Structure 1
Amino acid sequence: MQQQESVSPVAKKRLGLVEFVALMATMTSLVALSIDAMLPALDAIGEALHANDASEAHLIVTLFFAGMAVGQLFFGPFADTRGRRAAILLGLTIFVVGTLICMSAQTMTTMLIGRVVQAFGVSGPRIAAMAIIRDLYVGDAMARVMSFIMMVFILVPMLAPIVGQTVLLFFSWPHIFSLFLIVAFLAGTWFFTRQSETLPRQRRQRFSFTRFLSSSKYILTHASVMGYTLAMGCIFGAFLAYLSASQTIFQGYYQAGKLFPFIFATLAFSIGIASFFNGQMVMRFGMRTLCRVALVGVTVFAVIFNFILLSYAGLPPLWLTVMIMFTGFFFVGILFGNLNAMAMQPLGDMAGLGAAIIGSLSSLFSVPIALFVDSFLNGTLYPIGLGFLVFFVLAGICVRMAERATPCSANTDT
């Protein structure tokens, strides 16, 4: 099975693979850090800011993704017009402003506004990093690099709740936001001293509303791009329902207390293993083949998980829940990098706008899914299990539609 690792001309100027992967993972990890370090503090923040109930505290997580959906639509065209470095500089600046708003919040409304501003800003580094990767790699090579980046990136959700819990032991919850400021400064310094611009001026597209509409129309009407994007939305929506409710599930339903960060890290480790496996296997088998196998895997996982829920009245023993989720999240981890790479593949020089629309649509699709699923939480895991089953199946349907719309010549498995 012959594989081609295609790179663009600017790839000759790129950093070594190890440093590049570490740098891109750091830039994108601001998203995970801003979400997962907050999880142990949700109850404390809700109490301090007089939240009406636990679901209002969950908005600290879910509204972050809504803010990212809007931010990505801005930073996509901005990155294509002004360059990748400018997008990262502006994004980090806005992220700092949002973080300062959250630190000084006296009401839940102010906190949620700050989180949306934070999310809008962090979209800059995320979109620019995705565009930089697409500038340098395409096809299975991009999926391979994305998997290595995900492997490093996954350390953040593994460690962030532990770090957040540690901060709470010695300080108060506003100091978690101090951590965000430090990481943003270090990441920005590293990026601007080591990574050159990957979109030369002669390749930049001067912003034109007509061109924006034309490019957007091309992306939005590209059947394979939209199929993979909707599949990502389904997969991430079901996962986000778990993510935003994880603190309630493990500390509320299972009374895990301070063990919560370690349980969360264990489940995140499953996605890290999957990313490493995918990085090793994607050049051999191709991202489409691995994606098909993973879709079967998540569907079987969802069926078994729901059967277990029925056997234990909706709340299985903690060890069993962790074990079955660990297995299922392995297949979810394989899907994350591959679906995004397949959606980005046809977009070429419009990588910035493409990453923006793909990220924004998948977020806008996933947030309502998560809110809908979590609205049914009532002391059992039935809503989470059914959410997994329904939306994993829908993701499989979307991928099948995307594959049928993809010309044979674009199939990177051959």
Structure 2
Amino acid sequence: MSDPSRPKAGFAEYIALVALLISIGALGTDIMLPALDAISRDLGAPRITDGHFLVTAFFLGLAAGQLVVGPLADSYGRKPVIYAGYGVFIAGCLVSGLTESWAVMLAGRVLQGVGAAAPRIVAVAMVRDQYEGRAMARIMSIAMAAFIIVPIIAPALGQGLIHLGGWRMTFVGLVVLALAVLVWFALRQVETLARADRRAFRLSNIGAGLVEIARTRVALGYTLTAGLMYGMFVGYLGAAQQIFQGIYGVGELFAAYFALASTALGAAALVNAALVMRLGMRRLTWLALLALTGLSFTVWALGPLLGGPLPLPLFLLWQLAVFFCVGITFGNLNALALEPLGHMAGLGAAFVGSLATFLSLPLAAAISGRITTAVTPLIAGFALLGLAACFTMFWTNRGRPD
């Protein structure tokens, strides 16, 4: 747009780039899931199960970083902010990979999250620059389907790196992958925000924009709904290793079981991309939320009747079903929240991403911190947060189903 002489990625390449930019958050957490216990033990964490704080610290930085990168991207353009974000992310990886201190490790993880906020949020604003409404939801759904390859392969990649050189090699892997995506992005993606459309970086402008967003019922309501969905998902991420290796004892097969659940997210994204133009974002999201909530309450109620721990096959069936529902909602909720905010897509994406992430953190901690010897807290968390999401979306739409 601002420099039409630059090479522009074709549609398939554009989708792949967006997916990789968005996936830096998933990559930053999933690649080290097999190493959480080892990191906690080697760096002297208070408890061996405190590894989930490495996930929470990353998302804390991600939430804080989004508050800054959105307004910056509206002022200085999309590409410079993404460049800076990758630099901060790589610095955080180096801090975490070299430290001998648990506290410094957590600080490095926060720094990684701050850096990851730039590509994660600005990529969404970049899509909003060029698409809106159902078309944006379709693009985001296809990107999510491509993005889902990351959580499928990342734990296995992490295990391979750990075998090569211990848990510190996972951070080396993150640096190498970040540099590769950064070079690809620099060479093939044009700037999508024309200079004439940029907003001066003033606190008064940011404050006025935030007030406008907060008063926009649709933006606020769908952001809160997204935060509830993120809460259950991040809660699962923080407890995934404990669930599969600690409770079910799958050992080295952890990466395979984690990948199995991730395929449901990818399948849902493809289904959503195929249906969203015909059925609409709201209707699909409603159906997914109702199914997720009903399934979770049903399995939660079945638990005591089984007279023991939930069998692994039943847990996997529930997980595949509800993750399919989660996958339907992710692309739609972002597009719905940003639909009225096209004139300030960077700040809007920052608000949506930051508020949703901040809301998700205590909810995720409440779920993952309770998972020790059974998966019941996870299922209960999905049921209760799903119900809350249904009520929030009902309020957002003023009682209308679509």
TM-score of the two chains, using structure 1 as the length reference: 0.93
Alignment counterpart, residue 68 of structure 1, candidates 41, 62, 72: 62
**In the TM superposition, what whole-angstrom CA distance separates every residue of 1:107-166 from its partner, at most 9, and x where no partner exists?**
110100000000000111111101100001000000000000000000000110011111
SS in 1 for 2:23: helix
Alignment counterpart, residue 45 of structure 1, candidates 17, 20, 39: 39
Shift of 1:200: 1.0
1:384 and 2:378 matched: yes
Alignment counterpart, residue 161 of structure 1, candidates 152, 155, 159: 155
Shift of 1:55: 4.0
Given that 1:145 and 1:279 are in contact with CA atoms closer than 8 Å, whether structure 2 keeps it comes out as yes
Shift of 1:179: 0.7
Given that 2:218 and 2:337 are in contact with CA atoms closer than 8 Å, whether structure 1 keeps it comes out as yes
Equivalences for 1:108-187 in 2 at 5 Å?
A: 108-187=102-181
Alignment-mate amino acid for residue 323 of structure 2: F
Q: Which residue of 2 aligns with 1:4?
A: none
1:222 and 2:221 matched: no
Q: How many equivalent residue pairs?
A: 399
SS in 2 for 1:206: coil
Given that 1:76 and 1:352 are in contact with CA atoms closer than 8 Å, whether structure 2 keeps it comes out as yes
Given that 1:309 and 1:381 are in contact with CA atoms closer than 8 Å, whether structure 2 keeps it comes out as no
SS in 2 for 1:225: helix
* Counterpart Cα distance in 1 of 2:366 and 2:307: 21
Q: Which residue of 1 aligns with 2:228?
A: 234
Given that 1:39 and 1:247 are in contact with CA atoms closer than 8 Å, whether structure 2 keeps it comes out as yes
* Counterpart Cα distance in 1 of 2:299 and 2:165: 38
Given that 1:65 and 1:367 are in contact with CA atoms closer than 8 Å, whether structure 2 keeps it comes out as yes
Alignment counterpart, residue 84 of structure 1, candidates 78, 84, 87: 78
Taking a change above 3 Å as real, the CA distance of residues 138 and 51 of structure 1, as seen in their structure-2 partners, is: same
* Counterpart Cα distance in 1 of 2:22 and 2:276: 21
* Counterpart Cα distance in 2 of 1:360 and 1:225: 13
Given that 2:52 and 2:368 are in contact with CA atoms closer than 8 Å, whether structure 1 keeps it comes out as no
Alignment-mate amino acid for residue 261 of structure 1: A
Given that 1:314 and 1:381 are in contact with CA atoms closer than 8 Å, whether structure 2 keeps it comes out as no
**In the TM superposition, what whole-angstrom CA distance separates every residue of 1:2-50 from its partner, at most 9, and x where no partner exists?**
xxxxxxxx9xx96321111001111111111111011000011111101
* Counterpart Cα distance in 2 of 1:76 and 1:44: 35
* Counterpart Cα distance in 2 of 1:223 and 1:390: 23
SS in 1 for 2:398: helix
Q: Which residue of 2 aligns with 1:6?
A: none
Runs of 4+ in 1 over 3 A off after TM superposition: none
Equivalences for 1:2-401 in 2 at 5 Å?
A: 15-313=9-307, 315-401=309-395
Shift of 1:405: 8.7
Given that 1:138 and 1:345 are in contact with CA atoms closer than 8 Å, whether structure 2 keeps it comes out as yes
Given that 1:224 and 1:405 are in contact with CA atoms closer than 8 Å, whether structure 2 keeps it comes out as no
* Counterpart Cα distance in 1 of 2:307 and 2:356: 33
**In the TM superposition, what whole-angstrom CA distance separates every residue of 1:223-264 from its partner, at most 9, and x where no partner exists?**
111111111111110121111101001100111100111000
* Counterpart Cα distance in 1 of 2:399 and 2:280: 18
Shift of 1:221: 1.9
Given that 2:66 and 2:351 are in contact with CA atoms closer than 8 Å, whether structure 1 keeps it comes out as yes
* Counterpart Cα distance in 2 of 1:312 and 1:186: 49
Aligned Cα root-mean-square deviation (Å): 1.8
Given that 2:152 and 2:260 are in contact with CA atoms closer than 8 Å, whether structure 1 keeps it comes out as yes
Shift of 1:56: 2.1
SS in 1 for 2:38: helix
Given that 1:314 and 1:382 are in contact with CA atoms closer than 8 Å, whether structure 2 keeps it comes out as no
Given that 2:243 and 2:371 are in contact with CA atoms closer than 8 Å, whether structure 1 keeps it comes out as no
Alignment-mate amino acid for residue 338 of structure 2: M
Given that 1:147 and 1:279 are in contact with CA atoms closer than 8 Å, whether structure 2 keeps it comes out as yes
* Counterpart Cα distance in 2 of 1:246 and 1:21: 28
Equivalences for 1:397-412 in 2 at 5 Å?
A: 397-404=391-398
* Counterpart Cα distance in 2 of 1:110 and 1:269: 34
Alignment-mate amino acid for residue 249 of structure 1: I
**In the TM superposition, what whole-angstrom CA distance separates every residue of 1:254-293 from its partner, at most 9, and x where no partner exists?**
1110011100000010000000100111111111111111
* Counterpart Cα distance in 2 of 1:257 and 1:155: 22
* Counterpart Cα distance in 2 of 1:383 and 1:316: 12
* Counterpart Cα distance in 2 of 1:79 and 1:101: 26
* Counterpart Cα distance in 2 of 1:111 and 1:176: 13
TM-score of the two chains, using structure 2 as the length reference: 0.96
SS in 1 for 2:223: helix
**In the TM superposition, what whole-angstrom CA distance separates every residue of 1:314-354 from its partner, at most 9, and x where no partner exists?**
62111111111101110110011101110011001211001
